[in-house]
Structure formats: structure tokens, C-alpha cells
A = this chain, B = another copy of it.
Amino acid sequence: MIIAVDAVGGDFYPKNPITGALRAMEENPSVSILFVGPENMIRNELASLEYDTSRVDILHAPEIVTMEDTASVAIKTKPYSSITVGIKAHQQGRCDAFVSAGNTGALLAASTILLGRLNGVLRSTIAATFPTLKGPALLIDAGANLELRPEMYYQFAKMGSIFSEVILQQESPTVGLVNVGEEREKGTDIHKEAYKMLETLDNFAGNIEGKDILCGTTNVFLTDGFTGNIILKFGESIPEMLKLKIAQTMKEQKVDEATQNIVYKLLKESLSGFDYQAIGGVPFLGVNGVSLVGHGNSSPAAITNMIHSAVNCIRHRLNERIVSSLH
């Protein structure tokens, strides 16, 4: 299996993508890596590292999409970026997947435009894993489509369920529609219409509210990309806010250093589920290919895990399952 890796994606390139990819290769003998990016930069980084050279190749892409570029600017003005060149290589069958910790908007646009959508899919989307008391849940849409039509909720419920089962290995995952109340007539007309379509699914658990998210009431949280993005970023901010708040309290109450250390350790342990590095990356669902994106802040370990996720998507034929679920 050849996994193409964006060597200049994320905040810590080329170091993190390259070391993370080499580790994935060590951990899985069936993986070969195709690094995509400026050739010299990649060669320089690789020069000091030890790895199986027979399983590493480089695809030159001189341009770099920054985290600030808008998706349309990235696609139109940087045709030789690692993102465009990498996705094209995947489209042409030169690799089995493309993974990047780079600009999510540009990646989604390139993946959708160049790879196209799977047969029957109305919109491609991005899901995110979300920490809950019961382990990671799946938030879908996590920001790709700000507004949804009812039938998109329905398709996303199916795609999210398959991802949750196959990749997150959750047995018989349930789906909840994020809404302002539990009753079926809650929400906008679009939510009411979506509810009616979702009811026909065996694993639809009804509406869930804001308070159900951290509890992990369902395995899949179904929402439009606007609300999804707000929930996701709000959730990500909880651990840091909490650390600051508790530090403040301990300072005010003149808590001794030994106790402070115990508290910080407990806090770190308790909030470890909020560490997105453990998951690594998520695929764009509905595109005709395997394209994954990770957090800009990805560590080498996050890149390694994103590559393992890509391998799982391929092995478990995620896309074939999505297509057959929609027909």
C-alpha cells in the first residue's frame, strides 16, 4: 500500500510529517510512503534519518499552501502545491491514499474537485472524533458544509455510522441529531424534515441536546457544519481553560507545591481523552478516494496514527460500504 504524505502540511513541516510517516512505515511493513512537497526540503530532512529507502519515494511539488490561504486561492493560484499534486497522484492511481495536516479547506476542495464524489453522494463532508465520558464519538459535519438539506443529514448519518463502526470499531453505533430539545418537533423546518428521514434508520436515537455531547449519549453526533465547527472548537478549548482556572484557584488558596503536582497529574490524566493526537486524522467522507486531514498542530505520533487510519479505510473498503449503503 502506498500512502502519499503531504510533507509541508501543518505547523511543523517537514519534520513532523516526515518522522511520523517513517514511524508508520516501521510499524506496518505493508506501507510504503510517497512524500509530496519541495524535493530538496524533503531530501534534507530525510538525510539525517534512518529508514528503509526501498519503501520511500518523493513526488516534487514546489508550492506550499499556507494555513491562511482560502481554499479557492489555494486551488486556483497554486497548481503545483503538495495538496494538488498529491491528490492528483492519488486520482491517477500512483498512491492508495493521501494524508495531510495542512489547510483543511484547501484539502476538502481539492479532494472534492479532483477525486469527485462517490456514486450517489450529495455532498462530501468531514467528520471529527470528539471525546466523551464514554470514549470518542463522531461529530459529523465538523465544518465542511455550513448548511445542510434534510437528505444530507440522512446521508451523513449513514456515512458516519459506517466510519464509526469500521474505523472507530464501535459496535452498532447510534446516531443522534443535535437539536434544541429532545422532542421530534424541535428545531427549524430543516431539522424536523431531517428527523422524519432519519427515523427510517434502525440506529437513529432521536434528538440530542448540547448537554448530551460530553456524556456521549450517542456514538454519532449529526449536525450542520456551522454548529459542528462551534462545538468542536469549544470542546477543544475545555482542557486549557480548566487548567488555567484550577491554577488560578490553587494560587489564590496558596496550595503547596506537592499537592499542586498531584492535581495537575490527575487533571492531565482525566483530560487525556481530549488529546486529538491519539486519533491523528479523519477522512473526507463521500469523496471518491482516500484523503485524510489531521490537525495543523499534529505531532509525529498524530501523523503516524493518521496513516494507520488511512490504511484501515483502504483495508475495510470504507468507500465501497458507503456506496452500497446509499443504494
Contacts and interface: CB of A to CB of B under 8 A. Distances in A.
Contacts of A210: 229-237
Contacts of A250: 266
Interface in A210-237: 210-215, 225-227, 229-237
Contact residues of A: prevailing secondary structure:
helix
Given A178-B230, A234-B231, A266-B253, A245 B209 contact: no
A143 B267 contact: no
B249 A143 contact: no
Contacts of A209: 229-230, 233
A244 interface: yes
A326 interface: no
Interface string A34-53: 00000000000000000000
Contacts of A230: 178, 180, 209-210, 227, 230-231
A248 interface: yes
What number of copies of this chain does the assembly contain?
Answer: 2
Assign chain A's interface to a size class: 35 or more
Nearest to A225: B180
Contact of A226 (B188, B232, B241): B188
Nearest to A247: B270
Nearest to A185: B70
A178, A213, A234, A238 — which one has the most chain B CB atoms within 10 A of its CB?
Answer: A234
B266 A229 contact: no
A225 B263 CA distance: 37
A259 B209 CA distance: 34
Interface in A188-217: 188, 209-215
